[in-house]
C-alpha cells in the first residue's frame, strides 16, 4: 500500500520527499496551500491534516499521510482521486 500510494502521488505531480516509511509527505510549500489542500481533501471524505510551521520550516508545509495495511486498493484510489482534484483546487497541481 505504501509504495502504491507514494507512486500514485508522484505520478500526479506531488513531491513526496525522501521518506521510505509508511508516513508519506505530500509537499505543499506554503501553509496556506497545505491548509487549502487539507480542506479540499476533507470535502472529499479524506481526513489528512496539514503540517505547518513551527512543526516544519515555513516553506516546507505538507500533508502527512499515514499508510495502513488495512486499506484496500479501492480506498487508495479514492484517496488519490481526492488528492488529484484537491491539489488542483488548492493550486498545488
Q: Indicate whether 19 pLDDT > 90.
A: no
Q: Per residue in 24-43, pLDDT tens?
A: 999 999 999 999 999 999 99
| Position 71 confidence tier, pLDDT thresholds 50, 70, 90 | very high
Domains of the chain by range and CATH?
2-89 (3.90.1150.10)
Q: Quick one: what percent of the chain has pLDDT higher than 70?
A: 100
pTM of the model: 0.92
> How does DSSP classify residue 24?
E
Residue 88, H or E segment = helix 73-89
The cell numbers describing 23, all together, are 508516513
φ, ψ (nearest 5 deg) of residue 28: -120, -20
Residue 9: what pLDDT? Answer: 98
Residue 65: what pLDDT? Answer: 94
Amino acid at each position: 500500500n505504501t509504495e502504491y500510494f507514494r507512486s500514485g502521488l508522484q505520478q500526479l505531480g506531488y513531491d513526496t520527499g525522501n521518506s521510505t516509511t509508511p508516513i508519506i509527505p505530500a509537499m505543499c510549500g506554503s501553509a496556506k496551500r497545505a491548509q487549502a489542500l487539507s480542506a479540499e481533501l476533507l470535502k472529499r471524505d479524506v481526513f489528512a491534516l496539514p503540517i505547518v510551521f513551527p512543526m516544519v520550516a515555513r516553506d516546507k508545509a505538507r500533508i502527512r499521510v499515514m499508510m495502513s495495511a488495512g486499506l484496500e486498493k479501492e480506498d487508495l484510489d479514492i484517496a488519490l482521486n481526492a488528492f488529484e482534484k484537491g491539489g488542483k483546487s488548492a493550486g498545488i497541481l
